[in-house]
Amino acid sequence: MWDWVDRRALDVLDNPYGHPAWFVNVFADQVETIRDLEQAGFADQASVGDDAWSEVLLRRSDDAAFPEYSLPAGFTIRPLASVPEVKASVDLQCAVFESYNMTVEWHRRAL
């Protein structure tokens, strides 16, 4: 499986959605998965200096109260209005995260 995934990743490397590296998220207690990934050539990136790959994983107590927030005047929070708003949603996500991994086609399939 790793060979197939690696070949597929290399196939898309030279397009706007390709990346020179890819990551697999695992939890520290997934010892067997970590071992298998290391045997497949993956290396822990949590503490490699200035280029460390880090992620903050936070857990919240089930009984903790959510703070009250008020939206600024003129703003509302609502679900996406399906297909007619997909392009605007993709454009917004790409602009906010400075990434072009999200595509209209992918988002339509996800709906």
Same domain membership, residue 35 and residue 5: yes
Question: Quick check: is 65 in a domain?
Answer: no
How many domains in the chain? 2
What's the rounded Cα separation, in Å, for the pair 22 and 8? 12
Contact 83, 58 (CB under 8 A): no
Comparison of pLDDT for 102 and 72, the residue scoring more:
72
pLDDT at 54: 56
Q: What is the mean pLDDT of residues 39-55?
A: 70
Contact 89, 107 (CB under 8 A): yes
Average pLDDT over the chain reads 82
Alpha helices in 2-50 (DSSP H): 2-11, 31-39
Same domain membership, residue 81 and residue 48: no
What's the rounded Cα separation, in Å, for the pair 7 and 104? 25
Extract the runs of DSSP E, i.e. beta strands, from the chain: none
pLDDT at 75: 93
Question: Quick check: is 69 in a domain?
Answer: no
pTM exceeds 0.75? no
* pLDDT band, very low/low/confident/very high, at 87 (cuts 50, 70, 90): very high
Question: Which range of residues forms the domain containing residue 110?
Answer: 74-111
Same domain membership, residue 7 and residue 54: yes
Question: Quick check: is 54 in a domain?
Answer: yes
